[in-house]
Structure 1
Amino acid sequence: MSTPDALLTDEAGNGALSGVVVLDVSRVVAGPYCSQMLADLGATVIKVENPRDPDYTRTFPPFLRHEDEEISAFYAQYNRGKLGITVDLAVPEGKQVLKDLVAKADILVENFRPGTMDKLGLGYSVLREVNPRLVYTAISGYGQTGPLSRRPAYDNTAQAAGGLWSMNGEPDRPASRVGTIIGDLSATMFGVIGTLAALRHAERHGVGQMVDVAQVDSVVAMTETAVVNYTVAGEVAGRLGNEHPFVRPYELFPCKDGDVFFGGYTDKFWTITCEMFNEPEAATDPDINTMAKRFDRDTYERRVRPLLHKWFADRTRGELEDMAGEKVPLTAIKTIDEVVADEQTAARDMIVDVDYDKFGQLRMFGQPIKLGVTPATPARRANRVGEHTDPVLQALAGYSLEHIEDLRSAGAL
């Protein structure tokens, strides 16, 4: 069994962020996923949960089950590779525990509503006095500033307020939310980028800073050309279904056993496609022989789309993919079971297996960042509630076992 000091390094391994200590006081997705990315890349991440109110995604399905015990696979996917401790930040003794940990940490990640950590007496203005090098990453709905900053927010809030919801769906139907938590996930990515940038500055200059990332801001940054289309041309983005605002052909097409994405819009790809389907004359047809002509909506609907429907209708997804090969961009639109079983997914280690002993094996998505010298280590378990409290407080805060027991008796742990 590892000593308390060894535990901090054993869990992280030899990744690119080895030696970096992260305190994760966040919950649900945006914050936990941000710190999980850092853990995959080698940081020692310590998940801090309230002993009486732990991260409620531990109750989210699906579950690995053994008799009357269960583990949330949802929680496990976003908290893998972390050490877990319990601290009640509402009591004075718990506040001091966090401060003692912050003194030795490099990064703290939280995703409470702005002002919550300040009310606890643990906001950035307090913690930077404890550790001037601290990178304090705060992910929230509307950000730390602005007239709406204190409003509660979820992923759907960001999709609605950031404009993405209004752009998504079919033109003749009500708007649809994007079918995943893109507000949380985009904030995660920007949170990781901001954290690493601030960490580099702290390591070079000894000065930390707050990293302020808003879900709404993150969604706005995901709207492609919608902002400049409006500010330059006065066009308000609408719902286009599977189409691109101006690039054609670049959308879904039905085929014999499902649907494919085809994006052969350049002159080069269009010529190859016409030859591939034994109609080379379509590449030189003066009506559709240039990209600009094919982009014209009326011309596209009248001449190009019917050709593609004809070419694809009697062929399966597999046949079309085989025909396209490495020549033109054509991809089967896959269901998630097909993605999990796909040879490319396997080749990229994007499904990893983790043994949870009596609970069985958990298969979850891997780490998309591939580093040649210091590879990520995503195939690790998530922590149980408070699993590593004693050794972490011994190693990082320098507490004795007697002091830890006193804190536990006082309700701080």
Structure 2
Amino acid sequence: MTGTIDDVTALFEAPAGRGALAGVVVLDITRVVAGPFCSQILADLGATVIKIENPAEPDYARGFPPFLGGDETTGFSAFFGQFNRNKLGLTLDLSAERGKELLRTLVGKAHVLVENFRPGTMDKLGVGWNELKEVNPALVYTALSGFGQTGPHRRRPAYDNSAQATGGLWSMNGYPDRPPIRVGTIIGDLAATMYGVIGTLAALRHAEATGQGQLVDVSQQDSVLSLTENAVVSYTVEGKVPTPLGNEHPFVKPYELYECKDGFVFFGGYTDKFWRLTCEMFGQPEVADDPAADTMAKRFTPEVYEAKVKPQLLEWFSSRTKAELEELAGDVVPLSAIKTIDEVVNDPHIAARDMVVDVEYPDFGVLRMFGQPIKLGVTPARPRGLAPQVGEHTDVLLRALADLDDEAIAGLRADQVI
């Protein structure tokens, strides 16, 4: 019997129902974060995502801590589980000719392929964009890389820090009197993930309308550069090269971190309206009428801010806790406690938004991980999904999509192709 994508989708239909991307099949040939997170978002939104790993060298993020239900040898990587949920697992050695043939067969029945190898790697294997578009002209081929598919640096190896360094963000982060500091998360990977999803969906819409696929080329460096806010235009218009400012904004004031009784809060009441409301909230409405700081433009002036505004805020905040300040500000002015991750995970608003989800791994225990921030009213995302074990669904996928019987599959396994 010749299988179809519908057969596979039906076998693994989520109990929560079909998502917005139901029927879209994604081949995921990615590792670590940028690529896996891109395809995970597509999976949460209902796509059938097939994670393809080398049988001898699977995604090395499987060895990243923390581990659920044990250690690195007996447990399951929660890091891997978070970024690979809702996927089917298939092993395939793309260096073997038979492995390439099987991938081409799968490409003929897929809509999207996502990879995050260094540019040229898939071409050397004979399964790059130029080869696979001949197999499936409607294929959306999403390639995430450090420096993109074109340009003089395209072949350079890259990590998240490479993007933070070469995209300009690292040079802007930190404090004026200290060396620059990297952003405290893998923002280069994550930015590429988001642009990868956007590009994939845009290309998929075009492919569905015209039958024409395309290459989606997303660079970590490009992605980071686009996150530098006003840095580019500050340089091109005024010749200013942004440098670290600590917790301050380049020009908006007040808009930073402030110490309070039990920690720190962010306060951003910089407009005339918010400033007046803040003064009233703390029982000193006359402060808003101080002629030295009674307009937004004056408060933006560093000298006025340091002499008049910041000391006043610190006086108001110092005798109150984070919770007291948040309750006082309420829905009136922009004030937020700077929360640690344990406080975030246990935040009732986070719970109400379904942003921490529990998933039971039968052999390892319950994994608590972040949910899906994209909220769709009619076809909600489904973040409560398992990540596959290495090659967990290989046999059923090859039966359904490559028309292979048990004997043929056993032969491929014996030859270490799967």
Give TM-score scaled by structure 1 length. 0.98
The 3-state SS of whatever aligns with 1:46 is: strand
Match of residue 249, structure 1, among 239, 254, 268: 254
Secondary structure in structure 1 of the residue aligned to 2:327 = helix
How big is the shift at 1:357?
1.7
Match of 2:44 among 31, 40, 46: 40
Partner amino acid, structure 1, of 2:40 = Q
Aligned positions of 1:60-75 closer than 5 A: 60-66=64-70, 69-75=74-80
Secondary structure in 2 aligned to 1:364?
strand
Provide the rounded CA distance (Å) in 2 between the counterparts of 1:12 and 1:126: 31
Q: Which amino acid letter does the alignment assign opposite residue 84 of structure 1?
A: G
- SS of the residue aligned with 1:112? coil
3-state SS of paired residue (1:69): coil
CA–CA distance in structure 2, aligned partners of residues 176 and 155 of structure 1: 14
1:230 aligns with 2:203: no
1:55 and 2:55 matched: no
Query: Which of 190, 193, 217 is equivalent to 2:222?
Result: 217
Is 1:313 the equivalent of 2:318?
yes
Question: For residues 8-407 of structure 1, what are the structure 2 equivalents within 5 Å?
Answer: 8-13=9-14, 14-66=18-70, 69-407=74-412
**Structure 1 Cα separation of the partners of residues 13 and 302 of structure 2:** 53
Offset from partner CA, 1:334-363 (integer Å, 9 cap, x none): 000000000010000000000012311000
What displacement does 1:28 show? 0.6
CA separation in 2, counterparts of 1:218 and 1:27?
18
Amino acid at match of 2:366: Q
Q: CA deviation at 1:66?
A: 4.9
The question of whether the paired residues in 2 share the 8 Å contact of 1:160 and 1:166 is answered with: yes
Distance in 2, matches of 1:192 and 1:369, equals 12
Q: After superposition, give the CA deviation of every residue in 1:265-324 in whole Å (9 maximum; x if it has no partner).
A: 011100000011111111111111111110011111111111001111111111111110
Between stretches 47-56 and 278-287, larger displacement belongs to: 278-287
How much identity, in percent, do the aligned residues show?
A: 66
**Cα RMSD over matched residues?**
1.2
Deviations 1:214-265, CA, capped at 9 Å, x for gaps: 0000000000000001000111011010000000000000000000000000
Deviation at 1:403, TM superposition (A): 2.0
User: Cα offset for 1:109?
Assistant: 0.3
For residues 150 and 315 of structure 2, what CA distance do their matches in structure 1 show? 54
Name the CA distance, whole Å, in 1 between partners of 2:12 and 2:289: 61
For the 8 Å contact 1:12–1:39, the answer to whether it is kept is no
CA distance in 2 between partners of 1:7 and 1:138 (Å)? 25
**Shift of the alpha carbon at 1:409?**
2.2
1:10 CA displacement: 4.3
- Give the conservation status (yes or no) of the 8 Å contact 1:171–1:240: yes
Residue 134 of structure 1 and its aligned partner are, at CA, apart by 0.3
Secondary structure of 2:69's aligned partner = strand
Q: Which moved more, 1:355-364 or 1:154-163?
A: 355-364
- Distance in 1, Cα, partners of 2:407 & 2:298: 78
CA distance in 2: counterparts of 1:55 and 1:120, whole angstroms:
18
Distance apart, 1:38 and its partner CA: 0.2
Query: Aligned with 1:383: secondary structure?
Result: coil
> What stretches of structure 2 of length at least 5 have no aligned partner?
none
Q: Supply the AA of the counterpart residue of 1:78.
A: F
Flag structure 1 segments of 5+ consecutive residues without an equivalent. none
C-alpha distance in 1 between matches for 2:409 and 2:35: 27
Is the 8 Å Cα contact of residues 12 and 43 (structure 1) preserved in structure 2?
A: no
- Check the 8 A contact 1:142/1:151 in 2, yes or no: yes
Distance 1:89 1:39 in 2: 23
Instruction: State the 1:400 CA deviation.
Output: 2.2
Structure 1 CA distance, aligned partners of 2:34 and 2:94?
A: 20
- CA deviation after TM superposition for structure 1 residue 99, in Å: 0.4
Q: Deviations over 1:57-99 (max 9, x none)?
A: 0000000125962100000000000000100000100000100
Q: Which amino acid aligns with 2:353?
A: R
Q: What SS does structure 2 have at the residue aligned with 1:358?
A: coil
Secondary structure of the residue that 2:156 maps to in structure 1?
coil
Matches of 1:10 and 1:379, distance apart in 2: 17
Q: Post-superposition shift, 1:202?
A: 0.3
1:33 partner SS: helix
The count of residues paired between Structure 1 and Structure 2 equals 411
